[in-house]
Amino acid sequence: MTRRLLPIGAIGTGLAIAGVLAYTLVPDKLWLVTVLEGLALVSLIWAFTIHFDRLKTFSSQRSTRMGANSALMVALFLGILAIVNFLAARHSIRWDFSENQNYTLAPETYRVLRNLTRDISITVFTREKDPGYQAYKERFDSYRQASSKLTVQFIDPERQPKVAQNYGITRTDIAIFESGPQSVRITSPAEVEITGALVRVSKDTKKRVVFLEGHGERSLDDTDRGGLTLTKEVLQKQGYDIGTVTLLQEPAVPENTDVLIIAGPRRAVTKEEKERIQAYVAKGGHLLVMVDPDTQSNMDDLLKVWGIELGQGVLVDLQDRLAQGDLTALLVRTFTDHEITHELTAAVLFPLARHLTFQEEQGKEWDYVPLARTSPRSWAETDMKGRVVSYTEKEDVQGPLALAVALTPKQAPEEGKPRPAVVVVGNSAFASNGFINFVGNSDFFQRTVGWLSEERDLISLTPKDPAVRPFTPNPLQERILLYVQVILLPAMTVLCGLLVWRKRRRL
C-alpha cells in the first residue's frame, strides 16, 4: 500500500509546483492554475487520509516532537520576517537624525508632491565616486517615499556613454526631470532646486525669460566668446521659454514675462525704457541686471530706485583670483547664505567686474543681500590706464566689496499678487559663451534665474543651514597647508626620530 500511496503525495507536490509556475509564466490563464492547484489539493488530502495512522504513530515519538518544534520555530521566524519585509516595502519609515534635519522635506515640498498630476521621470548622471552621488540618492529616497509618481534612475556616464551623449551631458552630478514634453535640468541636490524643477516640469506652460535688446547688450544669436548662444541653450535645457524685447518699440514689458534680463548694455538706456522696467518690477516682475565697468549704459538712476549704487573702477583681488591670470580676473568664493548661493561650492569667475553698494535711505523698503564678495585683499582700482595696479588710499576703495546682490521688498505683497525681486551683478561676461561652461558660473547663473522665476509658493522654501561647512582654502592658505603638510610635519617627524635614536645610543 505504501508503494501505491507514496506516488500520490509526490504527484500532489508536483501539481502544486506546476500551478505556481503556470501562474508565473501565463498569469492570464487562471483556469489552468485553478485546475492544477485543485488536483494538487485533492492528491495531498487523499495521501494524508490514507497515511493518517502511520503519521499518528510517527508524531507520537519524542524525536518527532522535538523536530517538529524546531521546524515550527523556524517556520514562525521566517513568516514573521516575511511579513515585516512585506510591510516595510510598502510602508517604509525613515528617521532623520541629522543636526539640521537636512533629509526632512519642507511642508511646501510635500504640498507640491501631493499636487502632482502626472508621472515624472528623473535621470541622474553621476558616478558612485562623485561628491553628489550620495546626496542625490538620499534626497531622492525622501521624495520617492512621499510620492509614487516619481521614477528615479542613476546612470554612470562613463559606463553608459551613449545615453549621456543622447542627453548632451558634458559633466556629472546632473539630474534631468522629464514629464511629457517638458524637460528640466538641475546641478545640485538641494531641496529648493529639486522642488522647483518638479513644479516647472509638471506644468504644460514654460516660464518665459526675456532679454532686453537695443543698447549693445550681449546677443542670444552671437556665437563668439562674448555672445549668449550657449547661455540660451543652458536656459532652454532648464525648461525656459527664451525671447527678446525692445522697449524702444514696445510700450511695456510683455505681460507673460517671468524674468527680464539686461545683459551688459553698452549704450544708454532711455528714460522711457527705465520707467517701463520700473513699472514691470513694481507689478511683481523679476529683474536681472548685469552691468560691466566702463560702459555708457546710464543705469544709475534706475538702480537707485532700489537703493543700489554702481561703484566706480574695476575690482582687483590679490587673493581670490584666477591663478597665473590678471589681477582683475576674480575667482570669487565668498558667498552669503541665500537661496541662490546655498550649497554653491564651486568658485565663480568674474572677468573685469565692478562693485555695488547699498544706500539704506533710498532702499529702505527693500531687503538687501550681498550674494558674492571679494576677499579682504581686494579693492576697486580707479586708474587702470598704466596697467601698473597698486592700491591708492585716497582714490581706490578698499575691499571686501560686493559684486552681486539680491533685493526683495520688506512688505509682503497683497494676496494673489507676485512678489518682486531684483538681482544686480557687476559683470556680464561671466554668463557669456566664453565663461558659462565654467562650473561655478553655470551654477550661479542658473540658480539666479531659477530663484527669480520661482512661483510664489516656493519663495518661502528657504534652504537649511548645513551642519558641516566645508573649508575651501584660498591660494595663500593652500600654500601654507602645502608647506606645513609636505615640509614641516615630515621634518619634525624625522627630527624626533633622530633625537630618540641618539638618546638610545647613549644608553
Query: In whole angstroms, how far apart are CA 138 and each of 103, 160, 199?
Result: 7, 23, 20
Q: Do 302 and 419 sit in the same domain of this protein?
A: yes
Q: Do 219 and 316 sit in the same domain of this protein?
A: yes
pLDDT at 427: 94
φ, ψ of residue 379 in degrees (nearest 5): -160, 165
Is pLDDT at 368 greater than 90 in this prediction? yes
Q: Do 275 and 189 sit in the same domain of this protein?
A: no
Q: How far is the C-alpha of 239 from the C-alpha of 200, rounded, in Å?
A: 7
What is the average per-residue pLDDT within 301-320?
Answer: 91
Radius of gyration of the chain from Cα atoms? 34
Q: Do 111 and 157 sit in the same domain of this protein?
A: yes
Instruction: Quote the cell numbers at residue 402.
Output: 560686493
Q: Do 146 and 214 sit in the same domain of this protein?
A: no
Q: Do 103 and 217 sit in the same domain of this protein?
A: no
Question: Domain with 212 in it: what CATH number?
Answer: 3.40.50
What is the average per-residue pLDDT within 406-429?
Answer: 90
pLDDT at 63: 64
Helix residue ranges, H only, 60-160: 62-90, 107-114, 132-146
Give the three-state DSSP class for 459.
helix
pLDDT at 319: 87
Lowest mean pLDDT among 28-32, 104-108, 406-410, 453-457: 453-457
Is pLDDT at 404 greater than 90 in this prediction? yes
Is pLDDT at 457 greater than 50 in this prediction? no
pLDDT at 456: 46
Domain of residue 495 covers 476-507
pLDDT at 234: 84
The DSSP annotation for 192-243 comes to HHHHHHHHHHTSSSPPEEEEE-SSSPPPTT--STTS-HHHHHHHHHTTPEEE
Exposed / middle / buried, residue 355 (Cβ in 10 Å: 0-12, 13-18, 19+): buried
For the chain, give the number of residues.
507
Instruction: Give the tens place of pLDDT for each residue, 150-200.
Output: 999 999 998 899 999 998 888 888 999 999 888 888 888 888 788 888 888
pLDDT at 61: 66
Q: Do 261 and 301 sit in the same domain of this protein?
A: yes
Of the spans 87-96, 209-218, 312-321, 341-350, which averages the highest pLDDT?
209-218
Q: Do 378 and 246 sit in the same domain of this protein?
A: yes
End-of-domain residue from the set 68, 90, 112: 90
Place of cell 547688450: 217
Exposed / middle / buried, residue 439 (Cβ in 10 Å: 0-12, 13-18, 19+): middle
Instruction: Give the tens place of pLDDT for each residue, 190-227.
Output: 887 888 888 888 887 788 999 999 999 999 999 999 99
Place of cell 550681449: 218
Q: Does residue 189 have a cis bond before it (omega within 30 degrees)?
A: no
Q: Do 131 and 264 sit in the same domain of this protein?
A: no
Q: Please list the residues that pair with 335 across neighbouring strands.
A: 372
**Higher-confidence position of 28 and 144:** 144
Q: Round the average pLDDT of the chain to a whole number and report it.
A: 82
Confidence of residue 1 (pLDDT cuts 50, 70, 90): very low
Contact status, residue 92 vs residue 122, Cβ threshold 8 Å: no
Q: How far is the C-alpha of 218 from the C-alpha of 264, rounded, in Å?
A: 6
Question: Domain with 140 in it: what CATH number?
Answer: 3.40.30.10
φ, ψ of residue 150 in degrees (nearest 5): -105, 130
If one counts the domains in the chain, the total is: 4
pLDDT at 79: 60
Q: Do 374 and 301 sit in the same domain of this protein?
A: yes
Q: Do 351 and 230 sit in the same domain of this protein?
A: yes
Instruction: Give the tens place of pLDDT for each residue, 327-357.
Output: 888 899 889 988 888 878 788 999 889 999 9
Q: Do 348 and 242 sit in the same domain of this protein?
A: yes
What is the average per-residue pLDDT within 231-256?
Answer: 89
End-of-domain residue from the set 204, 234, 250: 204
End-of-domain residue from the set 189, 204, 219: 204
% of the chain with per-residue pLDDT over 70: 81
Assign residue 204 a region (left: φ > 0; alpha: ψ between -120 and 50; beta: otherwise). Answer: alpha
Place of cell 533685493: 407
Confidence of residue 129 (pLDDT cuts 50, 70, 90): confident
